[in-house]
Each structure stands twice: as C-alpha cells, then as structure tokens.
Amino acid sequence: MSEDNMWKAPYRGANPISATVEIPGSKSVTNRALILAALAKSKSILRKPLHSRDSALMIAGLQAIGCEIKKLENGDLEINPQPFFGPASVDVGNAGTVMRFLPPVAALAKGLIHFDGDPRSHERPLGPVIAALENLGISIEHGGRYSLPLTINGAGKIIGGELDIDASSSSQFISALLLIGPVTEKGITIRHIGNHLPSQPHINMTVAMLQQFGAQVSVGKSADGHPQWQVEPGELHGLDLIIEPDLSNAAPFMAAAMICGGEVVIKNWPKETTQPGDELRKIFSQMGAQISFKDSDLSVKGGGEILGIDVDLHDVGELTPSIAAVAALATTPSSLRNIGHLRLHETDRLSALATEINSLGGDVDEEESALHISPAPLHSGTFHTYEDHRLATAGAMIGLVVSGIKVENIATTSKTLPDFPGQWNQMLGNK
C-alpha cells in the first residue's frame, strides 16, 4: 500500500481532552427512512440525514428506479414517491443495507433492474433475501449463485404471503422484507427459523419505523415457537422526520475521553432509541468511563483506569471494533463473545481485529465466535482497514496513545462518517 494512502493517526498521550462533538445522522435510520419515504403515498422531508457513501448509494438506487429525491440547501432530503420502473442499474457498493433492502423494493418495479457492487459484495450473504423474493413469485436471474450480481424482472406488484427465513447471518434479511410488507397486496408474515438472530435491535428499529410511517406490525411467536413478524397491507404516509445521530459512530469519540482522559460531550443523544449504539453507555461505563446526560447531550469522562470487560455482543456486533480497540488499551483482560456473524461484514472483522492489534504487539486470541484480548504494550506500526470503516476508526483510537500508528485508507470512514479525520482533529483541538 502506498504511503499516499496512509494516514498518520494523531497522537495525544495522557493529555486530557475537552470537546463537544456533533455526530452525523444514523446510517441505519437514514436508509430505512429513505425506503419507507419512497414507498409512501405522500411527500417526506428527512432532516439531518446522513450524507455518506452508503446513503448516497441508497439515494442513487431509489432514483434509478424512479423515486424523486432532492437535496435541499440545508442538507435535508425531500422525497416525492413515484411509480417504480425499469430498465435500471443499481450499484450497491459494499453497503449491506443497500444490497439487501433495495432488491425487494425493486421487485415492486415493472421491468428489469440489475444489481451489482464492489467485488466484496459478491461474497456477502444475500441468498435468503433472493430465495424469499422467489418464494413470493418474483423472477430473479442470479445464475444459481443466490448472490450478486443479479437482475430482477418485476411485474409492478408483489402479492405477499408467508415466509420462512434463516437470518442467522444477518438480521437485515428480515428487515429487508418487512419494509415492503405494507405495499404488498396481502401483507407479509415472516418466521425466523434459524438457530440464532443477530442484531435484534435493528429489527426492532425497522418495526418502530414502519409504525412511524403508518404500518400495522405485530411481533410475536409462530405456533411452533419461532419468532414471527406480521405486516398488514396498507398505505404508508409521508413524514417530516428528524434523523437521530448515529450512536455507533459516537463510539470512537466517547472512547477518546476514556483513552486520554478529560471529557467529550456528544450532542443530542436521544433519551429513547432503538439504535444498538445506545448500549455504549452501559458498556463503556463498565470499562471505567463516567457517563451521564447533560440536558439533551451525553457527557463521557475518563482519566481513570480502563478495565477489561466480558460481554455478549451478539445483538450489538457493530460496536465490536470500537470496544476491541479500547480493550486493547485496558489493564485487565476482555472477552467479546457471540460475534461470529461479523465474519460476514465488510470484511471478516474478527480476523482483521486480531491480526491488526497483534501486529502492534497486542495479545488477541481469536475463536470462531469470540475475541479474547489481554493487556500488552503496543508499539507503532500500520493498521490495515480492509475497506472497513469501523476498522479505520479503531486504528485512530489506538493511535491516540500509541505513537507512530499509520491507518491505511482512512477515507473508507466516509461510508458512514463524511469527514472523520476532520472531526477527529477538531475534537483534539488540532488545526
């Protein structure tokens, strides 16, 4: 990798931080809101949405199939729903939400809609969504691979019905099909038949947002005891919606106060939310941070000892890289458990974290579904990111107190954080 692609992580040492940070809008909420607004019967305004590669790909995909989306001068988005149609081509990049959420929407279009993305997108699991759409009568060309690239030949409507889905590798499989439930003719009932269900809070978020837009959703268990979701057919209405800040993206900024000492205040932290990132308040408190609300903001104070943690991250796996980075700087061992599904994300996050932290002198033991991290003195070196935005921010966190860390391709953070290096330097008071 050329030096041009290396970012020298700002070194701070034990010099306390005092900063207030405003985190851009949630990727998960923005992308769900974009789809629901596109499926609604009336106009929506999304205020303070995330503008990143992932959300840009979602917007471009919806525009490609006919939806009118306009960016206003203040950055808000105006969505005017229109009938979907092909032919069209959609680039999903390597964005999980785009590659899983848009094919069901495209199946509502009349005509051929072709999907492709970055090379890594061809390897990421998509089969259950494709199979479910086929079970709903949708014609899809995928060469028997049940993965990208693929072409959907939509008939302009979806009848709906009952679906059995194994979502063990991604909760997005369920969310993707729930989102279109209201605009199918019979509604959709989904039964999860897998052994486990990762990232349950993201499904809860999908259900809550469907209800916000006017859908009738019931959650319970099937007759044989499987988790079940039922979405009734009906009209969605447009909304004027303020997008919450992305709480998962707050992790590196919160951690900075723990790592260097001082206080970081995160603006506009919601008192109630379905975002998995809200768990950071509890997890980082257990690792030694002092966390409290200041009116509508969240204060994170550090300066004491960073403690290791033994924690089940099954429901909040996306927080793993940030927690692993803090754990690598702790004085006691940590175990991050039930995170095997992270091997199927932008990269194999377990292997990548173990490899990169160990390359800096760390002591990370990798199991199939867990990371065990023991205290060890870290040294300078290169932190590779594998085109994964959360790996990149993890490298920046370690670089705060380990001199001479170079992070490969820091620009990959733009998938969810438009200007992470700028915000990071601003927090540190660097020009």
- List b or e across 202-214, with b for residues whose CB sees 16 or more CB atoms inside 10 angstroms: bbbbbbebbeebb
Give the largest CA-CA distance in the chain: 62
pLDDT of residue 3: 63
pLDDT of residue 47: 97
Q: Does 27-242 match 3-24+245-427 at the fold level? A: yes
d(CA 40, CA 179): 11
pLDDT of residue 204: 95
Cβ contact 152:128 at 8 Å: no
pLDDT of residue 399: 98
pLDDT of residue 268: 95
pLDDT tens across the length of the chain (431 residues): 456 789 999 999 989 999 999 999 999 999 999 999 999 999 999 999 999 999 999 999 999 999 999 999 999 999 999 999 999 999 999 888 999 999 999 999 999 999 999 998 999 999 999 999 999 999 999 999 999 999 999 999 999 999 999 998 889 999 999 999 999 999 999 999 988 888 888 999 999 999 999 999 999 999 999 999 999 999 999 999 999 999 999 999 999 999 999 999 999 999 999 999 999 999 999 999 999 999 999 999 998 899 999 999 998 999 999 999 999 999 999 999 999 988 877 789 999 999 999 999 999 999 999 999 999 999 999 999 999 999 999 999 999 999 999 999 999 998 889 899 999 999 999 86
pLDDT of residue 45: 98
Angle at alpha carbon of residue 204, lines to 199 and 208, rounded to 5° = 150
CATH number of the domain at 27-242, please? 3.65.10.10
pLDDT of residue 416: 84
Asked about 272 being catalytic, the answer comes back as no
Fold that domain 3-24+245-427 belongs to in CATH: UDP-n-acetylglucosamine1-carboxyvinyl-transferase; Chain (3.65.10)
One of 244, 318, 346, 408 is an active-site residue; which one?
318
d(CA 392, CA 383): 8
Q: Of the candidates 123, 197, 204, 199, which has an alpha carbon nearest to the alpha carbon of residue 166?
A: 197
pTM equals: 0.89
pLDDT of residue 344: 79
3-state DSSP of the chain: CCHHHEEECCCCCCCCEEEEECCCECHHHHHHHHHHHHHCCCCEEEECCCCCHHHHHHHHHHHHCCCEEEECCCCCEEEECCCCECCEEEECCCCHHHHHHHHHHHCCCEEEEEEECCHHHHCCCCHHHHHHHHHCCCEEECCCCCCCCEEEEEECCCCCEEEEECCCCCCHHHHHHHHHHHHCCCCEEEEECCCCCCCHHHHHHHHHHHHHCCCCEEEEECCCCCEEEEECCCCCCCCEEECCECCHHHHHHHHHHHHHCEEEEECCCCCCCCCHHHHHHHHHHHCCCEEEEECCEEEEEECCCCCCCEEECCCCHHHHHHHHHHHCCCCCCEEEECCHHHHHCCCCHHHHHHHHHHHCCCEEEEECCEEEEECCCCCCEEECCCCCHHHHHHHHHHHCCCCCEEEECHHHHHHCCCCHHHHHHHHCCCC
Give the pair of three-digit tokens for residue 144: 């028997």
By DSSP bridging, strand 6-8 and strand 44-47 are unpaired
Handedness of CA 193, 195, 200, 202 (dihedral sign): negative
Q: Of the candidates 34, 3, 11, which has an alpha carbon nearest to the alpha carbon of residue 238?
A: 34
Q: Which residue has the tokens 């994170």?
A: 300
d(CA 395, CA 405): 8
Q: Of the candidates 283, 243, 266, which has an alpha carbon nearest to the alpha carbon of residue 23?
A: 266
